[in-house]
Amino acid sequence: MMITLIGTAHILNLSQSLIKVFEEKQPDIICIELDAKRYNALINKDKHIRNSSTPPIYKFLAWFQEKLAREYGVTAGEEMLTAIKYAEDKGIPFSMIDMDAQRLFRRMLKSMSILEKIRLILSGLLGLIVGKKQVEKELDYIEENFNDFLQEVNKKYPTIKRVLIDERNEFMAKKLIELSKEYQDIIAIVGEGHIPGISSILRRNNMEVETIRLSTLREMKPIEVKSNDTTSISFTVEQEIPEHIDLKNKEE
């Protein structure tokens, strides 16, 4: 049994590198860092984040993520669409292993101190002028100094670290452990920042884990793949669907 964790960035074009890994690993199931609502948003292009019940900060982050993704000529969350499309083409089941993001954001905002909220707003405003070169520098810094970065986040935004990182790490690791009872070779695509935490939890539970970091994906040589006319967003919409989809048994 092997769980392979792949670290991604939702604003980068990593599709070809992911397909290369999928072809090499031949997984029994592909897991993605999505909940049912975000999955629904990915596959329904006409759905948007303008839902009245969606927290404003959630809408802003979705918009900001799309803004950065456009700098790279992609749409935010495109790597998740690549994984879903690959699973569909190969008849491989895929599973959504993340928490409900909208509920998570509401709970996080209620728990945040006023100082944290002010810092978050100011950080968001400064982010409006961030360009591709600055994003590249920050990605390189985070990859090379992840522990320092995590300490910095914990110092400035302790609630964000606890809710958006630590709690989600525990949740996703638990999902993977459950899936390992049914599937031998598992691939999980998660944000790069979740790799250390999830891998540590899995190893503490005697799981065999391999990690493929974002830096490795970015350095992979491109392969020939057909472009797909797909659009994605990382946050949104309301619709109840199963978290686990077995395409082999799915009726058309």
pLDDT in tens, 69-119: 455 455 667 888 899 999 999 999 999 999 998 888 889 889 989 998 888
In the numeric block, the tokens 């994906």 are attached to 217
Predicted pLDDT of residue 133: 66
In the numeric block, the tokens 């006409």 are attached to 46
Predicted pLDDT of residue 131: 58
Residue 250 within any structural domain of the chain: no
Residue 157 within any structural domain of the chain: yes
Residue 252 within any structural domain of the chain: no
Do 4 and 10 touch, CB atoms closer than 8 A?
A: no
Residue 173 within any structural domain of the chain: yes
Alpha carbons 45 and 231: distance in angstroms, whole number: 6
Alpha carbons 233 and 40: distance in angstroms, whole number: 10
Predicted pLDDT of residue 240: 42
Predicted pLDDT of residue 222: 58
pLDDT means per 10 residues in the chain (252 residues)? 91 86 97 88 60 57 54 65 94 95 86 87 64 66 76 87 93 98 97 94 97 90 48 34 56 42
In this structure, the strands spanning 185-191 and 209-212 are: unpaired
Residue 251 within any structural domain of the chain: no
Work out the number of other CB atoms within 10 angstroms of the CB of residue 40: 18
Predicted pLDDT of residue 183: 97
Residue 18 within any structural domain of the chain: yes
What domain range includes position 205?
Answer: 2-245
Domains held by the chain: number: 1
Q: Which residues, listed in sequence order, are joined to residue 209 by a DSSP beta bridge?
A: 3
Residue 154 within any structural domain of the chain: yes
Q: Which residues, listed in sequence order, are joined to residue 96 by a DSSP beta bridge?
A: 32
Predicted pLDDT of residue 237: 31
Predicted pLDDT of residue 149: 78
Q: Give this prediction's pTM.
A: 0.77
Residue 113 within any structural domain of the chain: yes
Alpha carbons 13 and 212: distance in angstroms, whole number: 16
